[in-house]
Structure 1
Amino acid sequence: MKHRFTKYLGRVTEILELGFEEKFIYVHYTKGKTEKTACILKNNDKSQSEYLEAFFKENNVSEEMKKEVRKFLNNENNFNDEPWNEFTTFLMKTLSLNLVFGLTVALTVFAFYKLGSYLDARYGYEPWLTVIFIFMGIAIGGLTGYSMIQKYFKKPDSKDIQNEYDSQKQKNETTDFPIIDVTIDQVRRAVRQFSDNLPKGVYRTIIVQDDNSIDFKQLANILGGIPSKKFYMSKETYDLFEESEKNIPVEMDMVQKAVDLFVKERKAYPMLGFDPNRRVNYYQLMQDNFLKSEPEVQFYITDLDGLITHIRPEKKKIESSSQ
């Protein structure tokens, strides 16, 4: 029995996969370029959640991920009902396909048999036309059933998904949505839902306009309306901001690009080694022409694959990193 949990942390995707056996819990965890696998032996009288706590702590699993996993593990129905649900779903699909295929072949053969019998009786070729038409019915019925099964299992074509997305976008732009009040958390959830439904190769930055404001016409169908105030997004880190912080995403994108280029060429982060805050060193970036001018906002380098943040690290984290 396997379960998969996914969280989006800016440009970094956090994925936790759990596999449950009678005596083991298999864990596969990825966050950015980090990848960890573990096999946990269940040898004590503990809950499923307690077995994973050490893994969470050792690999710095995000609080959002831990909360979702704990909620899932604490619900016993997830373990009691899922095997039966999976079996019944598989059984119904199998029976449905077999029934459709069998009926298709049977009806086609019967129809061709009747046609062959009619022609034999009329023109006196009995039984040759009947035999020929029976084989034709088997062939045509088999091909028809096969094409139906192929269509059932066929994955949606990327062009079809793109066309569906374009039509939905056009529909949203022509629909008059009400003006509503929303929180930044509601916008964040809407952006994630929107991103999950995008076709392959299309990214959530398509909703970000030139001034880094969000085009809510594309999210109106999810939110149920157009927000009464603007929200802004960084194209590089996907962080969201309110109107009072609209200058941050512009500078954040500029600095993040500079940091990425610096790391690519220097194989190191542009910061002082003894700085517990891990502040982005603008002097280094400007000296090497990665930045043209010094930003007004101070950014910090996080542990998430070189992403930057405008939020200063907490005091406890600073002290622990300096020890």
Structure 2
Amino acid sequence: MKHKFTKYLGRVTENLELGFEEKWIYVHYTKGSIEKTACLLKNEVKSNEEYLEGFFTENHVSEEMKKEVRKFLKNEKNHNDTHWNEFTTFLMKALSLNMVFGITIAICVYAGYKLGALLDTRFDIYPTLTLIGIFTGIGLGGVTVYSMVQKYFTSPTPKRKDKEQSINMEPVDIRNFPVIDVTIEDVRMAIRKFSDNLPKGVYRTILVQDDNSIDFKQLASLLGGIPSKNFFMSKETYDLFEESEKQIPLEMDIVQKAVDQYVKEHKEYPMLKFDPQHRVNYYQLLQDHYLKGAPEIQFYITDLDGLVTHIKPQKKTSSQS
């Protein structure tokens, strides 16, 4: 069985897939445009974490990802220990109750035999009632043993987890939170904490409303209040903006989708080959109908897996010896 882990490092997505077998560990790792696959042979007496540590160091896996994997491996070990404890408890119960079950059935059969034999002697119809008494004793013994199994071997229904889940799903009442002043960095940190606790397959874009503004009802508990001003986020790059720049994420999402589609079909970026600033070439996107109109903002293609940015890249200066 394979286990997948995902981390969002700013604009770059980091993915790790692990598969544990008896003799080896399968690892598939991607970070932006970097992709590594390895099969780690388990030929020494080491833990899974120790086998993975070398791969993590060699490929510069983020601390956030390593922390999540270590947490998973620890929980997996505790889970296995729990199963072992449950098995040993079951075994002890089986060994201690085995004798009780045998004695119970023996007593019921013996009592049925004696009662049937007594009635046969009185009514002189041997062995009819004796046989009926024996089979009745077997049935009564079986019912008694079944009742004991249900009482001692059936696990209790877990109710606490369901209760905790129902509590966590309760909607947040923003009237209980004050209006506060926050910085864009405060919002960024709150979004990261929020996304770290999301289930697999659910992304932080659930925070973004139709106008690209952030729904702070979901972040109120992390921020300690509702911000006094709006903040905006790109659904494609996760960049954050203040209200004075709210037009940027709207156009950024349109341009990013157009660039992604162009790359998918043309296998190259829509920019001039010798442009040192890597500006998005709107003419190419308009000509092939990836854009309906030229954006007012100039965007640039970064080295981070083809993500676009509105920030003009700085000129690289050569170091002098």
Whichever of the two has the greater Rg, that structure is 2
Q: CA 1:111/1:224 → structure 2, altered by over 3 Å: closer, same or farther? A: farther
Q: Distance in 2 between matches of 1:108 and 1:237?
A: 64
| Alignment TM-score, normalising by the size of structure 1 | 0.62
**1:250 and 2:240 correspond:** no
Corresponding position of 2:216? 216
Asked if 2 retains the 8 angstrom alpha-carbon contact of 1:113 and 1:137, the reply is no
Per-residue CA deviations over 1:196-245 (Å, capped at 9, x if unaligned) read: 44345443222211211110101223333222322211111222222232
For 1:1-323, what aligned pairs fall within 5 Å after superposition? 7-9=7-9, 12-15=12-15, 29-32=29-32, 34-37=34-37, 55=58, 66=62, 90-99=80-89, 103=93, 124=115, 128-135=135-142, 148=155, 168=168, 171-173=171-173, 176-316=176-316
Task: Structure 1: give runs of 5+ residues left out of the alignment.
Answer: 19-25, 41-50, 73-77
Asked if 1 retains the 8 angstrom alpha-carbon contact of 2:110 and 2:134, the reply is yes
Pairwise CA distance, 1:255: 0.6
Per-residue CA deviations over 1:144-166 (Å, capped at 9, x if unaligned) read: 888749x88xxx9xxx9xxx58x
Pairwise CA distance, 1:256: 0.8
Q: CA 1:121/1:33 → structure 2, altered by over 3 Å: closer, same or farther? A: farther
Task: Structure 2: give runs of 5+ residues left out of the alignment.
Answer: 19-25, 41-53, 117-132
Q: Distance in 2 between matches of 1:112 and 1:230?
A: 74
Counterpart amino acid of residue 214 in structure 2 = I
Q: Distance in 2 between matches of 1:319 and 1:290?
A: 37
Greater alpha carbon shift after TM alignment, 295-304 vs 115-124:
115-124
Corresponding position of 1:22? none
Q: Distance in 1 between matches of 2:62 and 2:146?
A: 55
Q: CA 1:236/1:99 → structure 2, altered by over 3 Å: closer, same or farther? A: same
Q: CA 1:224/1:281 → structure 2, altered by over 3 Å: closer, same or farther? A: same
Q: CA 1:86/1:194 → structure 2, altered by over 3 Å: closer, same or farther? A: closer
Asked if 2 retains the 8 angstrom alpha-carbon contact of 1:113 and 1:133, the reply is no
Aligned-pair identity (%): 53
Counterpart amino acid of residue 182 in structure 1 = V
Asked if 1 retains the 8 angstrom alpha-carbon contact of 2:258 and 2:285, the reply is yes
Counterpart amino acid of residue 189 in structure 1 = M
Q: Distance in 2 between matches of 1:192 and 1:145?
A: 46
- For the aligned residue pairs, the C-alpha RMSD in angstroms reads 5.2
Greater alpha carbon shift after TM alignment, 255-264 vs 132-141:
132-141
* DSSP 3-state at the match of 1:30: strand
* DSSP 3-state at the match of 2:232: strand
Task: Say how many residue pairs are matched.
Answer: 279
Counterpart amino acid of residue 229 in structure 1 = K
Q: Distance in 2 between matches of 1:109 and 1:228?
A: 72
Greater alpha carbon shift after TM alignment, 244-253 vs 97-106:
97-106
Q: Distance in 1 between matches of 2:175 and 2:103?
A: 55
Asked if 2 retains the 8 angstrom alpha-carbon contact of 1:112 and 1:136, the reply is no
Q: Distance in 1 between matches of 2:190 and 2:94?
A: 44
